Structure 1
Amino acid sequence: MNLNLDVRANKMRIYDLKGKRLFLYQDEIQEMLLIAEDVHLLLRTFVETLIYTGCRISEALNMTRKDIHYHQQKITLKSQNRSGPVFRDVPVPHNYIDTLVAVHSILGGNDNNYEVKKPLWKWTRQHAYELIQELMIRSGVPAGGHRNPKGIRHAYGVNAVLCSVPLPFLKKWMGHSHISTTAIYVTCLQLDEKELVKRMWA
């Protein structure tokens, strides 16, 4: 794999032109997860899907029961590029997949072909976007370019890099075509330079 990490030519950013962040901090993510426990169960599983997989709204809305692999503890996501559909598997925490299975009756009920292919959430993209925005406001996320579903996706990438997930793995999980796109998250390391130095010389 070509590990060309030149992020200058990449149009995707995690800071805007004024240097303001376009991603959520982890304490904001944790507050969203806490608030989500008290909302409608379908909204809870939807926001947890965005947080724990880093997927796009459209990818979450495409999910069906057959995309949930309980025993393998992974989710299959489908995206679209010029060549057609592209599938990727994303590992997820057991607590998330347990909730998903319970709420959507993944391991029980009617497993005929029609039921298995039905979307888990029957929402339009716009409605899903508005629900997430409302939850962010309720969770106390301040206004800014980060207060939207893409801010959650960027938070996934930032958190992965801060936790030393190798870029090739992160590229696969996030569905990036080029590793130079994934490499934009390396720029967030400046936020935690003191911690990195501690690890380096510990």
Structure 2
Amino acid sequence: MTPLRQRMLDAMVLRGFAERTVQAYIHAMAGLARHFNCSPELLTAQQVQDYMLHLHRDRKLSFSTVNQAASGFKFLYGTVLGLGTRQFDIPYARMPQQVPELLSRGEVAMLLACAPHVTAGTFLRLAYASGLRLNELCHLRWGDVHGQADRMCIHVRQGKGGKGRLVPLASDTLAVLQQWRALQPRAARSDDAPDWVFTARADRSKPMHDQSPQRWYRAAASAAGITKHGGLHTLRHCYATHLLEAGVDVHTLQQWLGHNHVQTTARYLHLVRPDAAVGARGASLALLQALPQPQPQPLPEPA
């Protein structure tokens, strides 16, 4: 490990950065060093900007991915190396604000009914009914699922940016989780077993990899005849919009989604149906029960 990489790691640990952020920043720094075949501290601001242009224009990476690398470079040069923006300017790309393609409640119901197997069906149902991000779902532990009558919630310990939060747990969602746990082998339910709700197939001591749920979503969408763009994150958009339509206020939803700014949550107001009726607060959380009931599909386990 080079001294510069160690300095950057130490600076991120000192500031309590989330593990995924640490990995992303180190990955960006390593890519920059490989591209120019020298230490990043020897580069000019123009060279760093040229590399960012290379990522987008030549490697066809999205603006959001390039901006993530830019954040890593800003931390490296601004915080670790102590260079100000006048000495070392690293711009962000202005990203177009696109309205996500939402699924109707009927489409959500068909998607869940067409899940390729039980594991996929449980994961997709929890994604829609809790609004958790993909990484949060993959790293969810049984110890963070609270089903007591006076404290029904999911404790997200490592959300985006390393921030924790509490997300309400509806009775229908709790029932899905209880049914899923009952299906687990007896060894997986013992006190010394791994605490992950969803484990990796190859090694049950590790959490599920985040690529599998994306494949499950695409397979279910294809089987359901859904052609709208988007991946698993679409279910989080549906969760937010359907709760707003059911009467949950924006500031409460902001806390549940883990957004830093209420303006981020308020974007979902543009997706709310004009004719949406305001529902009762307690019933509004039961998103799964509010879905229409399509023809049930068999859910075999993957081979």
TM-score, L = length of structure 1: 0.73
| Deviation for aligned residue 1:181 | 0.3
Matches within 5 A, 1:24-39: 24-36=103-115, 39=116
CA distance in 1, matches of 2:242, 2:127: 14
Which residue of 2 is the match for residue 148 of structure 1?
Answer: 231
Provide structure 1 residue ranges, at least 5 long, that are not aligned to the other structure: 1-9, 16-20, 197-202
Contact 1:176 1:182 in 2 (8 A): yes
Which of 105, 117, 125 is the matching residue for 2:195? Answer: 117
Is residue 183 of structure 1 aligned with residue 249 of structure 2?
no
Partner of 1:160: 243
In structure 2, distance between residues paired with 1:70 and 1:87: 18
Cα distance between partner residues in 2 of 1:53 and 1:14: 23
Question: Does the CA-based 8 Å contact 2:159-2:165 persist in structure 1?
Answer: no
- Distance apart, 1:96 and its partner CA: 2.1
Q: Size of the alignment, in residue pairs?
A: 172
Report how far residue 73 of structure 1 moved.
2.6
| Matched-pair contact (CA < 8 Å) for 1:12–1:184 | no
Q: What SS does the corresponding residue of 2:157 show, helix, strand or coil?
A: strand
Amino acid corresponding to residue 190 of structure 2 in structure 1: N
Does 2:223 align with 1:138?
Answer: yes
Verify the 8 A CA contact 1:51 1:156 in the aligned structure 2: yes
**1:11, CA displacement in angstroms?**
6.0
Aligned positions of 1:17-166 closer than 5 A:
21-36=100-115, 39-71=116-148, 72-82=151-161, 85-105=162-182, 109-112=189-192, 115=193, 117-122=195-200, 123-144=208-229, 147-166=230-249
**% same residue:** 19
Q: Deviations over 1:31-70 (max 9, x none)?
A: 223334xx42221211111100111111100101111112
Question: 5+ residue gaps in structure 2?
Answer: 1-93, 201-207, 278-303
SS of 2:102's equivalent in the other structure is coil
Q: One-letter code of the match for 1:163?
A: A
Highest Rg: 1 or 2?
2
Q: Runs of 4 or more off by more than 6 Å in structure 1?
A: none
Query: Structure 1: how far apart are the matches of 2:96 and 2:172?
Result: 31
2:164 is paired with a residue of what secondary structure? strand
> Could you tell me how far apart the structure 2 residues matched to 1:116 and 1:170 are?
31
Q: Secondary structure at the match of 2:114?
A: helix
Q: How far apart are the structure 2 equivalents of 1:74 and 1:11?
A: 34
Secondary structure of 1:69's aligned partner:
strand
The one-letter code matched in structure 2 to 1:78 is R
- Give deviations 1:79-126, integer Å, cap 9, x for gaps: 4455xx2221211221221221232249x83123xx253352323212
When residues 156 and 118 of structure 1 are mapped into structure 2, their CA distance, relative to the original with a 3 A threshold, is: closer
What displacement does 1:163 show? 1.2
Give 1 or 2: higher strand fraction: 1
TM-score where L is the length of structure 2: 0.51
- Cα separation, partners in 2 of 1:143 and 1:74, compared to 1, 3 Å: same
- Kept in 2: contact 1:158–1:185 (CA 8 A): yes
Residue 29 to residue 187, structure 1, CA distance change in 2 (3 Å): same
Deviation (angstroms), 1:176: 0.6
Structure 2 Cα separation of the partners of residues 55 and 124 of structure 1: 15
Conserved 8 A contact 1:168-1:179: yes
